[in-house]
Structure 1
Amino acid sequence: MFDARLRPLIDPPLNRAGQLLARRGVSANAMTLGGFALGIAAAVSVAAGLFWLGFLLIALNRLADGLDGAIARHTDKTDSGGYLDITLDFVFYGAIPLAFAIHDPGANALAAAALLFSFYANGSAFLAFAVMAEKRGLSTDAQGQKSLFYISGLAEGAETIALFLLMALLPGWFPVLAWGFAAVCTVSAGARIFNGVSALRA
Structure 2
Amino acid sequence: MLDTAARRLIDPPLNRLGRMLARRGATADGVTLAGLGLGLFSAALIALGAPGWALWPLLASRLADGLDGAVARATRRTDWGGYLDIAADFAFYGAVPLAFVLADPAANGAAGAFLLAAFYFNGTTFLGYAILAEKRAMQTSAQGIKSLYFSNGLLEGTETIGFFVALCLWPDWFAPLAWVFGALCYLSGSLRLIGARAAFRG
**Fold match, TM over 0.5?**
yes
Deviation at 1:52, TM superposition (A): 1.7
Equivalent residue number for residue 99 of structure 2: 99
Equivalent residue number for residue 182 of structure 1: 182
For 2:174, give the aligned amino acid. F
For 1:177, give the aligned amino acid. L
Equivalent residue number for residue 139 of structure 1: 139
Deviation at 1:70, TM superposition (A): 0.3
Q: Deviations over 1:125-163 (max 9, x none)?
A: 010111111111111111111111111110100000000
Equivalent residue number for residue 7 of structure 1: 7
Residue 171 of structure 2 is aligned to residue 171 of structure 1: yes
For 1:23, give the aligned amino acid. R
For 1:47, give the aligned amino acid. A
Question: SS where residue 41 of structure 2 aligns?
Answer: helix
| Aligned-partner Cα distance in 2 for 1:140–1:114 | 31
For 1:130, give the aligned amino acid. A
For 1:124, give the aligned amino acid. T
| Aligned-partner Cα distance in 2 for 1:117–1:197 | 22
For 2:64, give the aligned amino acid. A
| Aligned-partner Cα distance in 2 for 1:168–1:102 | 14
Equivalent residue number for residue 16 of structure 1: 16
| Aligned-partner Cα distance in 1 for 2:113–2:193 | 21
Alignment root-mean-square deviation, CA: 0.7
Question: SS where residue 25 of structure 2 aligns?
Answer: coil
Deviation at 1:117, TM superposition (A): 1.0
Equivalent residue number for residue 123 of structure 2: 123
For 1:35, give the aligned amino acid. G
- After TM superposition, where is structure 1 displaced by more than 6 Å over at least 4 residues in a row? none
| Aligned-partner Cα distance in 2 for 1:85–1:24 | 21
Deviation at 1:22, TM superposition (A): 0.4
Comparing 47-56 with 68-77, greater Cα deviation is found at 47-56
| Aligned-partner Cα distance in 2 for 1:143–1:186 | 21
Residue 88 of structure 2 is aligned to residue 88 of structure 1: yes
Q: Deviations over 1:31-87 (max 9, x none)?
A: 000010001100100000111221111100100000000000000000000000000
Unaligned stretches of 5+ residues in structure 1:
none
Deviation at 1:108, TM superposition (A): 0.4
Deviation at 1:101, TM superposition (A): 0.2
| Aligned-partner Cα distance in 2 for 1:121–1:176 | 20
| Aligned-partner Cα distance in 2 for 1:194–1:23 | 44
Unaligned stretches of 5+ residues in structure 2:
none
For 2:60, give the aligned amino acid. L
| Aligned-partner Cα distance in 2 for 1:196–1:116 | 23
| Aligned-partner Cα distance in 1 for 2:30–2:197 | 36
